[in-house]
Amino acid sequence: MPDPLVAATTPIGLDLEEGTYFWCSCGKSENQPWCDGKHRGSGLVPQKLAILEPKKVFLCRCKQTSNPPFCDGSHARLA
């Protein structure tokens, strides 16, 4: 599987409403952190995120997390 692009070296904090979202796993989306379809042909697919009740989340934008789509601090290891 190809390596994703680093979209940013910081997570993004969002207050999300109940619903289904698709997190960009490839780093190519121009609508970070959400998928805009630019992954096509890359071998990477978006990560489905189901929010059952409104809450604040911190989503990874470096695309190196071990817990997608959530930030796990992996961005701190990037140069």
pLDDT tens digit string along 12-43? 999 999 999 999 999 999 999 999 999 999 99
pTM of the shown model: 0.93
Would you call 72 helix, strand, or coil by DSSP? coil
Please enumerate in sequence order all residues whose Cβ is within 8 A of that of 8, keeping only pairs 6 or more positions apart, or say none.
Answer: 32, 61, 62, 75
Looking at residue 75, the DSSP 8-state letter turns out to be: G
pLDDT tens digit string along 35-64? 999 999 999 999 999 999 999 999 999 999
